[in-house]
Amino acid sequence: MSNQQLTHIDETGAARMVDVGEKPHTERVALAESFIRMQPATLALILSGGHKKGDVLAVARVAGIMAAKKTWDLIPMCHPLLLTKVAVTLTPDEQNHGIHILAECRLSGQTGVEMEALTAASVAALTLYDMCKAVDRGMVIEYTRLLEKHGGKTGSWVR
Amino acid sequence: MSNQQLTHIDETGAARMVDVGEKPHTERVALAESFIRMQPATLALILSGGHKKGDVLAVARVAGIMAAKKTWDLIPMCHPLLLTKVAVTLTPDEQNHGIHILAECRLSGQTGVEMEALTAASVAALTLYDMCKAVDRGMVIEYTRLLEKHGGKTGSWVR
Amino acid sequence: MSNQQLTHIDETGAARMVDVGEKPHTERVALAESFIRMQPATLALILSGGHKKGDVLAVARVAGIMAAKKTWDLIPMCHPLLLTKVAVTLTPDEQNHGIHILAECRLSGQTGVEMEALTAASVAALTLYDMCKAVDRGMVIEYTRLLEKHGGKTGSWVR
Amino acid sequence: MSNQQLTHIDETGAARMVDVGEKPHTERVALAESFIRMQPATLALILSGGHKKGDVLAVARVAGIMAAKKTWDLIPMCHPLLLTKVAVTLTPDEQNHGIHILAECRLSGQTGVEMEALTAASVAALTLYDMCKAVDRGMVIEYTRLLEKHGGKTGSWVR
Amino acid sequence: MSNQQLTHIDETGAARMVDVGEKPHTERVALAESFIRMQPATLALILSGGHKKGDVLAVARVAGIMAAKKTWDLIPMCHPLLLTKVAVTLTPDEQNHGIHILAECRLSGQTGVEMEALTAASVAALTLYDMCKAVDRGMVIEYTRLLEKHGGKTGSWVR
Amino acid sequence: MSNQQLTHIDETGAARMVDVGEKPHTERVALAESFIRMQPATLALILSGGHKKGDVLAVARVAGIMAAKKTWDLIPMCHPLLLTKVAVTLTPDEQNHGIHILAECRLSGQTGVEMEALTAASVAALTLYDMCKAVDRGMVIEYTRLLEKHGGKTGSWVR
């Protein structure tokens, strides 16, 4: 692999926001996931209240959506872009004692939206940690990873 | 466990930024860690260039530090606070094919800095993903978790 | 009315940033207004100084324009967009003891700019409150509302 | 009233962020309210779904809380400050066809939190507008105003 | 000079936000200046309109004040802090064909406010460039520098 | 020159974000430069450490790139836009005792990117000041200016 394969690094080793001006505008979509493991009692606490506890999941969902829009301001070499869709789905998993987070981002543009989906999933997970840390400081965000992406020169990628 | 144990949720189930006005000002410190696993060739690419590649790690370090300062704007119920120290240490782990991230945050104040340390570690990991994704889209952030925290009413917690 | 009419809520009741990727790019414009009522003496104070007091209105105008650009970061389900024009007009109304705010936003894109115009008007009004609150804490922002919008699938709407 | 009573304007008419360095640190609290009027059918739509619609109110609540923390970045002459509490309460009012918003902010510091409470109420109202505008573009934010504030040199003020 | 004198760089050469937790809280003040040179006709254009042109200077003043509050978000290793005063003074200099900018920042805290004053002066100068660039693209920001600072362990420094 | 030549000021003297909706989408590029002069010993300190000191330049580079993306939020009348490339090149100049900063911004759009390039250069220079101020408070940013711009109705401009 040559030096140039790290596209954000130029031939002198300096970071740059790579030029995407020549790339075509195509439909882009990315799906990312994260999982936060917790004590069974913590999960029960989130779920037991029924709609009264709805805000825990709602707050994490909103945080993930808003974070996707801030990705360009968090990840130094990310391009600003115009997301046309962001959805964050939170699924309690009682068997594995945790909450699964799925983030989907879409746009039509010159750059992919993998970072936006990964950022949405990460921040939703961090928000769940924040909402529950008073009762369970040992929660772990067990993985954050890209599931699939479509569009752009490199086409589709599926884990 | 009672409803009240989720401190960010009031008795009606609504989210709120909990009142910390009565809490004492104490020295707070938190350490969090994250690990991003990648292809051996990807890690070699980051490390092979010597100082020329230094920017990959430097960019991730800067991104993590800057993200710690934005935590209040990312995590909805987090309080604004005045961090007195943020350090992000990146350690390549050739045996496990990845980079280990350690984030430390400190302040003297009324709220803990666990979320700041976790956010710094997460965003540093996401930045590494962004810098290398052109060559290795399958990288996984394998865990993000609190290592220890000190200060405040609940005192010390060590994993 | 069906559940689906609240476009930012999906069929499970969860909030999402709705997909606008299929919408055509059209010219969009929105006008919104707000009115802040104050003591006659407060209004006189703003107006009496002639150009020396010009900064009160200038600061509110700048604040409204800058806020329009931040709408995507304030309103959780708003899409990021590329405003091509923002203008905020402040008109003292000595008869009704207040200042009328008119905000106009424009772009060519896939989403409307109603929220941007409403946000500009609201923040300009809040800024006037801030500039004058030391002499008149009882000021009231009496209304904030859309006046008209044009463009997009639903076409024109005029109050 | 003299020129100097507009504290954010200096003797030449120029805006400035006034020096609060000499002010004592005191407990501050402010309550602000806003009311958004809508079609009865719109309110019914928000309320009919039971917990499934909970996200409309939850998103507005989160938006208000997050906006309070951004007040220093929205209102040009506001000081940065460390809010210790933000709560936003949304109460559907079926008689008056709308939703009442109550925002409470607290801190111990050198400046009041009136602007933070007013900003929280305004942005929560704007978010409700955004969530429902597809079915009811004519909604009006009928008033936004301070209800009471306590602390600081001027002490308590109650509408 | 030893390696350690660059306080933001640790012994391994890595950047960090240095720990100021042990520093005493003292009164801090910093003054910075900048000068933007332009065509005589450009300066005349700004000044000729009397109060009607007041907005050029007012917008630059507001931009400088708001930028001071964002310094922590612009300069990676800067600490967040609570400015108690920001003032930006713009003085047209017809002899030297330009506008002189003086920025003053104050707080009581553990870190100095030099960067805040320099950032305020820089952004005010950039804003003047933006407001006038359509008629004079060759304007030059001729210098930006610290004039004096007081407070903290190193005490006073005057150019 | 007529009043209208200051495009961000309307016929009443009020600031506005000028309408660019009618402008064509063209390729835009801008180059700006800045120079920060320092003590010879300060420059030696930055350069002496070899790769270990690499972070000083890397942090300034990252700060400049990130600031370019925030230009719309710093300069009140700037339009939001979608930068396709940002590069910041730092060149130590031992003869003149300082570091030269060159910033390049590109996009295809309706507005030029001069302000983005100037902002990137300014913030990179400010960051160098911040990293070295503990050893050399007298550093001066000696000039910040546009070098060239291409694209748009006014075509090319070269200093």
Q: How confident is the model at residue C5 (pLDDT cuts 50, 70, 90)?
A: confident
Q: Give the dihedral sign, CA D17/D22/D23/D26.
A: positive
Q: How confident is the model at residue A43 (pLDDT cuts 50, 70, 90)?
A: very high
Interface A-D, measured as beta-carbon pairs within 8 A, has a size of: 25
Phi, psi dihedrals of residue E93, rounded to the nearest 5°? -125, 95
- Tally of CA atoms within 13 A in the half-sphere of F108 that contains its CB: 11
Q: What's the gap in Å between the CA of A81 and the closest CA on chain F?
A: 6
Q: Output DSSP code: residue C97.
A: T
Residue type, F122: S
Inter-chain touch B80–D61, beta carbons under 8 Å: no
Inter-chain touch A77–F65, beta carbons under 8 Å: yes
Per-residue pLDDT of chain E (159 residues; tens, 9 = 90+): 344 478 888 888 889 999 999 998 899 999 999 999 999 999 998 887 654 556 899 999 999 999 999 999 999 999 999 999 999 999 999 999 999 999 999 999 899 999 999 999 999 999 999 999 999 999 999 999 999 999 998 899 999
pLDDT of residue A54: 65
SS (H, E, C) chain B: CCHHHCCCECCCCCECECCCCCCCCEEEEEEEEEEEECCHHHHHHHHHCHHHHHHHHHHHHHHHHHHHHCHHHHCCCCCCCCCCEEEEEEEEECCCCEEEEEEEEEEEECCCCHHHHHHHHHHHHHHHHHHHCCCCCCCEEEEEEEEEEECCCCCCEEC
Task: Spell out which residues of chain C touch residue F81, defining contact as CB-CB under 8 Å.
Answer: 82
Inter-chain touch E65–D77, beta carbons under 8 Å: yes
Least confident of A54-58, A78-82, E135-139: A54-58
pLDDT, chain F, mean = 92
| Cβ atoms of F32 and F147 closer than 8 Å | yes
pLDDT of residue B50: 52
Inter-chain touch A80–F84, beta carbons under 8 Å: no
Using left for φ > 0, alpha for ψ between -120 and 50, and beta otherwise, residue D147 falls in alpha
The predicted model scores a pTM of 0.96
Q: Give the dihedral sign, CA E149/E151/E153/E156.
A: positive
Chain A contact residues (CB < 8 Å to C): 27, 58, 61-62, 65-66, 68-70, 80-89, 106-108
Chain F contact residues (CB < 8 Å to A): 27, 58, 61-62, 65-66, 68-70, 80-89, 106-108
Query: Any known ligand binding at E132?
Result: no
Structure tokens at F79: 């339009």
Task: Spell out which residues of chain B touch residue A75, defining contact as CB-CB under 8 Å.
Answer: 63, 123, 126-127, 130
Binding-site residue numbers of D for substrate are: 77-79, 115-116
CB atoms within 10 A of CB F92: 15
pLDDT of residue F50: 52
Q: How confident is the model at residue A97 (pLDDT cuts 50, 70, 90)?
A: very high
Tokens 């109304």 correspond to C93
- Tally of CA atoms within 13 A in the half-sphere of D138 that contains its CB: 9
When scoring F53, F62, F130 by the number of chain B Cβ atoms within 10 A, the one with the most, hence best to mutate, is F62
Residue F87 has pLDDT above 90, yes or no: yes
Interface A-F, measured as beta-carbon pairs within 8 A, has a size of: 51
Inter-chain touch C59–E55, beta carbons under 8 Å: no
pLDDT of residue D53: 53
When scoring A20, A126, A158 by the number of chain B Cβ atoms within 10 A, the one with the most, hence best to mutate, is A126
Mean pLDDT split into 10-residue runs, chain B, 159 residues = 68 88 92 98 82 77 98 97 96 96 95 97 98 95 97 93
Binding-site residue numbers of C for substrate are: 77-79, 115-116
Q: What's the gap in Å between the CA of B56 and the closest CA on chain F?
A: 10
Rounded CA-CA distance A65/A70 in Å is: 9
pLDDT of residue D4: 46
Q: Taking residues A31-57, report their average pLDDT.
A: 85
Q: Taking residues A110-130, report their average pLDDT.
A: 97
Q: Taking residues F124-152, report their average pLDDT.
A: 96
Rounded CA-CA distance B128/A121 in Å is: 16
Structure tokens at A8: 């954000």
Rounded CA-CA distance C17/B97 in Å is: 37
Beta bridge partners of F37: F98, F140
Q: What's the gap in Å between the CA of D79 and the closest CA on chain E?
A: 7
DSSP D24-87: PPEEEEEEEEEEEE--HHHHHHHHHTGGGGHHHHHHHHHHHHHHHHHHHHHSTTPPP---SEEE
When scoring B17, B77, B78, B83 by the number of chain D Cβ atoms within 10 A, the one with the most, hence best to mutate, is B17
Which residue of E50, E61, E63 is in closest CB contact with C51? Answer: E50
Task: Spell out which residues of chain E touch residue B108, defining contact as CB-CB under 8 Å.
Answer: 21
Least confident of C137-146, E146-155, F8-17: F8-17
pLDDT, chain B, mean = 92
Chain E contact residues (CB < 8 Å to B): 10, 14-21, 72-73, 76-77, 79-82, 109-110
Tokens 């809520």 correspond to C9
> A26-158 maps to which CATH number?
3.30.70.640
**Complex confidence, ipTM:** 0.96
Binding-site residue numbers of B for substrate are: 77-79, 115-116
Task: Spell out which residues of chain E touch residue D10, defining contact as CB-CB under 8 Å.
Answer: 87
Q: Taking residues A128-149, report their average pLDDT.
A: 96
Q: What's the gap in Å between the CA of F84 and the closest CA on chain A?
A: 5
Residue B53's Cα: distance from chain center in Å? 23
Give Cβ neighbours of residue A14 (< 8 Å, ≥ 6 apart). Answer: B55, F58, F61, F89
| Segment E19-52, tens digit of pLDDT | 999 998 899 999 999 999 999 999 998 887 654 5
Rounded CA-CA distance B87/A147 in Å is: 31
Torsion of CA E20, E21, E24, E25, to 10 degrees: 90
Residue C52 has pLDDT above 60, yes or no: no
Task: Spell out which residues of chain C touch residue E58, defining contact as CB-CB under 8 Å.
Answer: 54-55, 58-59, 62
Q: Taking residues F52-68, report their average pLDDT.
A: 89
Give Cβ neighbours of residue E102 (< 8 Å, ≥ 6 apart). Answer: E31, E32, E33, E88, E89, E91, E121, E147
Q: How confident is the model at residue A84 (pLDDT cuts 50, 70, 90)?
A: very high
In chain C, which residue's Cα lies nearest the Cα of D157? C137
| Cβ atoms of E115 and F126 closer than 8 Å | yes
Task: Spell out which residues of chain D touch residue C6, defining contact as CB-CB under 8 Å.
Answer: 45-46, 53, 56, 131-132, 134-135
| Cβ atoms of A17 and F87 closer than 8 Å | yes
Q: What's the gap in Å between the CA of D7 and the closest CA on chain B?
A: 26
Q: Taking residues A116-141, report their average pLDDT.
A: 97
pLDDT of residue E51: 47
In chain E, which residue's Cα lies nearest the Cα of C63? E62
pLDDT of residue E49: 60
3-state secondary structure of F101: strand
| Segment B1-32, tens digit of pLDDT | 344 478 888 888 889 999 999 998 899 999 99
B106 to A34, B68, D107: CA distances (angstroms): 27, 11, 21
Task: Spell out which residues of chain A touch residue B8, defining contact as CB-CB under 8 Å.
Answer: 59, 130-131
| Cβ atoms of C122 and C114 closer than 8 Å | no
Tokens 């960067």 correspond to E115
Inter-chain touch F106–A19, beta carbons under 8 Å: yes
| Rounded (10°) angle between helices F40-48 and F114-132 | 90
Task: Spell out which residues of chain D touch residue E68, defining contact as CB-CB under 8 Å.
Answer: 17
Q: How confident is the model at residue A99 (pLDDT cuts 50, 70, 90)?
A: very high
Inter-chain touch A15–B58, beta carbons under 8 Å: yes
When scoring C74, C143, C149 by the number of chain D Cβ atoms within 10 A, the one with the most, hence best to mutate, is C74
Give Cβ neighbours of residue F11 (< 8 Å, ≥ 6 apart). Answer: F3, F4
Residue D55 has pLDDT above 90, yes or no: no
pLDDT of residue D103: 98
| Segment C55-81, tens digit of pLDDT | 899 999 999 999 999 999 999 999 999
Beta bridge partners of A85: A106
- Tally of CA atoms within 13 A in the half-sphere of B33 that contains its CB: 12
Which residue of C14, C15, C80 is in closest CB contact with A69? Answer: C80
Concerning whether D130 is annotated as a catalytic residue, the answer is yes
| Segment C96-124, tens digit of pLDDT | 999 999 999 999 989 999 999 999 999 99
Rounded CA-CA distance F54/F92 in Å is: 12
Residue D109 has pLDDT above 80, yes or no: yes
Of F55, F73, F130, F136, which one is the catalytic site residue?
F130
| Cβ atoms of E57 and E47 closer than 8 Å | no
pLDDT of residue B4: 46
In chain C, which residue's Cα lies nearest the Cα of D35? C143
pLDDT of residue B123: 98
CB atoms within 10 A of CB A57: 25
Task: Spell out which residues of chain A touch residue C18, defining contact as CB-CB under 8 Å.
Answer: 85
Rounded CA-CA distance D69/C98 in Å is: 28
Which residue of B66, B68, B85 is in closest CB contact with E19? Answer: B85
